[in-house]
Structure 1
């Protein structure tokens, strides 16, 4: 039997795709190096984990794991509707916010269309755009953040969607309310503006836009959020979008009927009901951010000011420092894939985890070469 080249049979847009590389799991590191007590500060997870109420709700939901989920996620949409003061018909749920972003690309970008996105923006979005055979117009960043005037200017007759990651991952920069309004006023009404707000619950800055207030005014606005970050449900994969009823109707036609499992939906409802856990997570994050900033300044390391639950640090050679930190049992995120080879991204952890990272990075950056030369 002759050998078949299945790579050549694949769609060209997928065949040439560079897959997204997630953060290294703790189990993988400890298996490879034979070490224990590692910490992971690579994927912007909540170091406190989920609320105890969430664990209880998820455990109870397992008793009905033999039943298919509610395909319409009625209970979760009702809970989100009450919490956000929007109509249930404005909500689309997905297997993580990435799934909802994919639904938007699938539903609104044709083969010859383009989507506008900023340099250094969340890498999954351009991967999704390319995988569906469409093209991303990448606008150069300004001071590591979104250059809103340039993004507006880049819109042309083929543009159908503009993605705004706010705050941006991996840089931690954000678009303020004034620039957001400027963007919405300038974008043609037929172009969707998709605002990815995965970290919005962490934000306390007064000039950060409350995008929900603008939904009635701009029917082309779509907001995506997730339960993976401040709510601590990353493993359960649950995200959602809020939009006009018309756009939500299209996205809900596009999604598969069981894209959210029962355990995740029950856990999310419980998470919304425990806002004290959210507030505690935000406070721990603020304290940890201050701790890391002070520590990085003492080490004379430059960092990008961040309003998320992570901070991006210039260590001159991100991949080298990443690999050396692995030997210390500390997992961070190198940013070579973002064309930021000098940087690593570090999740804000507990005080003990932050302290361990600072000691480890100081050690690997100042390690002396003990090789004896003749």
Structure 2
């Protein structure tokens, strides 16, 4: 057997939330809800769906390599010049482009200890050294991350809001951190959940692109826009960095349907506002339910909540599965007594809270 690269022997396949269909087959359940993968429970914009269906007429053509129409639409939407955008098959692919383009073997990349796992994986695959800094109350310890920098550091990842904790770092704290990073170290701000943030103490990073030429901002259409399956992520940075990333980008990585769907999604403010309104209502419902059960949770600025159930997360996860509820257990993310639950529809939130209460009652007997 041909041996893979040494790094690949130590990399595990990404493990997503358990599929609904799989759990239905395993347990013979007719009703299963999935609150594990931070998908939009309200679907996607009707305008986006219609645009993608119309584009089916052209599926025999390759898509445009740099998605110029989408770049122009985002340029108008965000008031950023179109040459600052790089598009990926989800923002995960842009993370891979970044490590492929900039991380040499032996160079270090600093990140939080509990954050999006693909940072670590992609750094490791390229032969880089992931440097993890412990969290502080579920939030990035920016001072600790700054201390971890040295002459071998090539890149820093800050997930803001952070996945899986849902927390943010304050505006001034993040700004001071950016000011402290040497110009030859790339700073990647992953803002996949940007639209959900409901705090005035949040750095509007787009305003600082010119002040920090080493800044790269990642966003996506997978979350609030509900387009997870078609895979459209984007980075915003200096045109010179975009040109370097394009060299290693797969030629037709964002398909035609995804490109036109994303453009149409930007035009549907009604869908966006409705999603944010319902997400807020769901967040408040779940936070109240947790308080009633005597449970604490991290303050979230996303479409998910990480709650401490004060029990073995794996056991609670298994009990919820038997009741037809799929969540993400915290023991696989460094929090052995916590669950990460996606904020669902009103009906889903109620079913989850009932199942959780039933589980905790049985465990505390």
Give TM-score scaled by structure 1 length.
0.95
Residues 244-291 of structure 1: CA deviation (Å, up to 9, x unaligned): 111111111221110000111111001011122111111111111100
* Match of residue 339 from structure 1: 334
CA distance in 2, matches of 1:334, 1:263: 34
Give yes or no for the alignment of 1:15 onto 2:6.
Answer: no
* Match of residue 343 from structure 2: 348
Give yes or no for the alignment of 1:187 onto 2:181.
Answer: yes
Which of 11, 25, 48 is the matching residue for 2:19?
25
Shift of 1:31: 1.6
* Match of residue 60 from structure 1: 54
CA distance in 2, matches of 1:220, 1:337: 32
Contact 1:98 1:124 in 2 (8 A): yes
Give yes or no for the alignment of 1:359 onto 2:354.
Answer: yes
What secondary structure is seen at the aligned counterpart in 2 of 1:157?
A: coil
What secondary structure is seen at the aligned counterpart in 2 of 1:107?
A: helix
Residues 195-216 of structure 1: CA deviation (Å, up to 9, x unaligned): 0000001112111110000001
CA distance in 1, matches of 2:30, 2:56: 30
CA distance in 2, matches of 1:336, 1:129: 23
CA distance in 1, matches of 2:124, 2:190: 18
Question: What is the 5 A alignment of 1:1-374?
Answer: 4=1, 6=2, 9-315=3-309, 316-367=311-362
CA distance in 2, matches of 1:63, 1:301: 52
Q: CA RMSD in A?
A: 1.2
CA distance in 1, matches of 2:143, 2:331: 27
Shift of 1:364: 1.2
Counting matched residue pairs gives 364
What secondary structure is seen at the aligned counterpart in 1 of 2:189?
A: strand
Q: Which runs of 5+ in 1 are unaligned?
A: none
Contact 2:88 2:253 in 1 (8 A): yes
What secondary structure is seen at the aligned counterpart in 1 of 2:229?
A: helix
What secondary structure is seen at the aligned counterpart in 1 of 2:37?
A: coil
Q: 1:201 to 1:216 in 2, by over 3 A?
A: same
Residues 89-119 of structure 1: CA deviation (Å, up to 9, x unaligned): 1100000000011101111100011000011
Contact 1:19 1:127 in 2 (8 A): no
